[in-house]
Homo-oligomer: A and B are copies of this chain.
C-alpha cells in the first residue's frame, strides 16, 4: 500500500487516525503481529469499548484490518493486524492532493 493513490479525503482520514497517542500505540503494538481485542486492551491498559472505537477509526482509515475467528474452544475472537502501509509526506505531496480535499461545506459520506 503506497500513498500515491490516496485522495484528499482518504489522506485526511489517515492523518486524523494517526493524531492520537492511543491509536499510535495500538498501531505500534500491531506492527509485529496480530492480536485480539480483549488482550490488546489489557496490554495497553485501556477499556475494551475505548479500544474498540480506536480500532474502528484505524480500520476506517485502512491502517489496520480485523478478522473474526473461532478459537479452538469455540469462542469468537477478533484479531487485528496493521496494514503494511508506507506513507511519504512532503509539502509537495500535500499540494498534489489538495485539490481533492473536502470543502468546508461538505458533509460526511462515510455512512
Contact between A12 and B21 (Cβ–Cβ < 8 Å)?
Answer: yes
> At the interface, yes or no: A68 with Cβ under 8 Å from chain B?
no
Stoichiometry (number of copies): 2
A97 to B27, CA, bound (A): 11
Contact between B12 and A94 (Cβ–Cβ < 8 Å)?
Answer: no
> What is the 8 Å Cβ interface bit string for chain A, positions 12-34, against chain B (1 contact, 0 not)?
10011011111011011111100
> What is the 8 Å Cβ interface bit string for chain A, positions 83-111, against chain B (1 contact, 0 not)?
11111111110111110011110000000
> At the interface, yes or no: A66 with Cβ under 8 Å from chain B?
no
Contact between B15 and A19 (Cβ–Cβ < 8 Å)?
Answer: yes
- Within 8 Å CB of A29, what residues of B? 95, 98
